[in-house]
Amino acid sequence: MNQTFAKRAESLAPAAVYEILKHCGPGKAIAFAAGNPGADAIPGEVIAGYMAEALTMPIPQTLLYAPTEGYPPLREKLVADLKSKRNIGNDDDKIIITQGATQAIEIVTKVFCNEGDVIISENPSFTGSLSAFKSYGVQIEGVDMEHDGMCMEKLEETLKKHPNARFIYTIPNFQNPTGWTTSLEKRKKIYELAKKYNTLILEDDPYGDLRYFGEDIPTIKSMDTDGIVLYAGSFSKTISPGLRVGYLLMHKNYMEKLAAAKQISDVHSPSVNQIVVHKMMTEFTMERQLADVRAIYNRRLQLTCDCIDKYLGGRVSYVKPEGGLYVYVQLPAEINVDDFCGQALKDGVGIVQGHSFEVTPDPNSPYFRINFSSPTDENLEKGIRILGDVLKKF
C-alpha cells in the first residue's frame, strides 16, 4: 500500500480546538475551547415535541429522499423572515438549506475557487472556514482585524494586489475568535471595495441573532443591490448544532451550481430536522427561544468579564463584545501564549491560542480565546480563577 493523497489533502488535519477538547470534559479540564452552545440553552423538550409532530407527517415528506435545496416551507419562511426582520435579501435572491453554515462555506469555495485562487479573509478568523479554503488549494490573504472590523487600508491594498480575488470572507457580527463587530461604516466600505474591485463577499453570520446589548448593525447583504454578497446563516448557535441546519442566501444566478455541489455532497439535509426548525419559526417559539438564549449568554458574558477583571485584572486587556460566544483576551507581551495555554490545560482549563486562528500563525500573537457559552456559570468562575492563578506563575 503506497497510495498517496491528493495535493489538496496536505492541509487536511484535525482542528487544534478538537485536540484541546480531548483533554476537557467531566473529570478533566474545563472547556473554554470550543464554540459549543450551553446545554442549558438548547430547548431539548421543544425539539423532542416538534420532532414527534414531524414524524406524524406522511413518510414522503419526512423519511424519503427530499429536495436538495431544502424543505420548501422552511425556505419560504426563512426568506420572508430575513426580509421582514433584518431587511436581508431581494427578489433576485434564492436560499438553500445547508448542514450548518459550515457546508455553505464549503460549497461556495468549491463552486467559485480554482486551486491557486485568492480568498481575502479577516485575520484571525474561524478555523473551520480557513481549513475549507485550504482544502481547495486556495491562497488565503489575511487582513488584520481591528476592534471595529478589518483594517480598510490593508483590505484595499490586498484587493489591488490580487485583482482576481474570488471573495472577501467576513464575520461582521461578534467575530470568531475576537468577538469584535464590524462597524456600519466599515461594512459599507467593504461593499464598496468589493464592487470597485469586482469581487464577491461571503458574509458569515452565525452570531447575528445573539446580540445582548447595543443596537443591531445592518448586514452587508442588506446593502446588496448588485447580487455580490453570499450570506450564510445557521441555527447551530440559536437552537442546536446537533440538528445541523444552516442556510445560504445568494443571487439566483449562483443557485444551480451551489445546489449541484450540495447534491454531490449529501443529496439533501435530513427533512425532520428542517421541519423542526420550521415549526420553531412558525409556531412562535423561536422568539422565546432567542430571548432565553440571549438572557443565558448575556449573564455568562457579564460573569466572564467580571471574573476576568477580578482574577486577571490589570495584567490582561479585552474588548467586551456586545454579543456572540467569545471574549478575546490579550496577555502581557512578556508572556508566551503557548506556555500560558499549556499551563492552563495542565491546571484544568482548556483555552485556545489566538494564533491558532491566524492565516499564518504568529507564535508571538498575545491573545487567547474564551468561549463563555458552553461552561456552566460555576465552571466559568472556577475556570477564570484558575487562569488567574496560572497568570501569577508567569
Touching its own copies, residues 313-342 (CB under 8 A): none
One residue of 76, 80, 115, 320 binding its own copies per CB under 8 A: 115
Cis omega (within 30 of 0) for bond into 124: yes
Residues 262-281 that bind its own copies (CB under 8 A): 263-273
Query: In this complex, which beta carbon is closest to its own copies, that of residue 235 or of residue 368?
Result: 235
One residue of 27, 39, 91, 215 binding its own copies per CB under 8 A: 39
Contact between 65 and its own copies per CB under 8 A = yes
Query: In this complex, which beta carbon is closest to its own copies, that of residue 281 or of residue 331?
Result: 281
- SS3 for 66? coil
Residue with cell 445541523: 244
User: Contact, 79 vs 95, CB < 8 A?
Assistant: yes
Contact between 73 and its own copies per CB under 8 A = no
Contact between 120 and its own copies per CB under 8 A = no
Cα 45 off chain centre by: 25
Query: In this complex, which beta carbon is closest to its own copies, that of residue 11 or of residue 302?
Result: 11
One residue of 157, 185, 226, 362 binding its own copies per CB under 8 A: 226
Q: Which DSSP symbol is given to 323?
A: B
CA distances from 146 to 101, 186, 368 (A): 24, 11, 16
Q: Assign 3-class secondary structure to 193-259.
A: HHHHCCCEEEEECCCCCCECCCCCCCCCHHHCCCCCEEEEEECCCCCCHHHCCEEEEEEHHHHHHHH
121 to 160: interface string for its own copies, x by CB under 8 A: -------x--xx--x-------------------------
Q: Candidates 204-212, 249-257, 289-297, 348-356 — which segment interacts with its own copies by CB under 8 A? A: 249-257
Grid cell in block for residue 278: 420550521
One residue of 88, 102, 329, 359 binding its own copies per CB under 8 A: 102
Query: In this complex, which beta carbon is closest to its own copies, that of residue 117 or of residue 203?
Result: 117
**In 3D, which of 108, 134, 358 has the Cα closest to residue 258?**
108
Contact between 201 and its own copies per CB under 8 A = no
Q: Please report how close the Cβ of residue 381 comes to its own copies at its closest, in angstroms.
A: 21
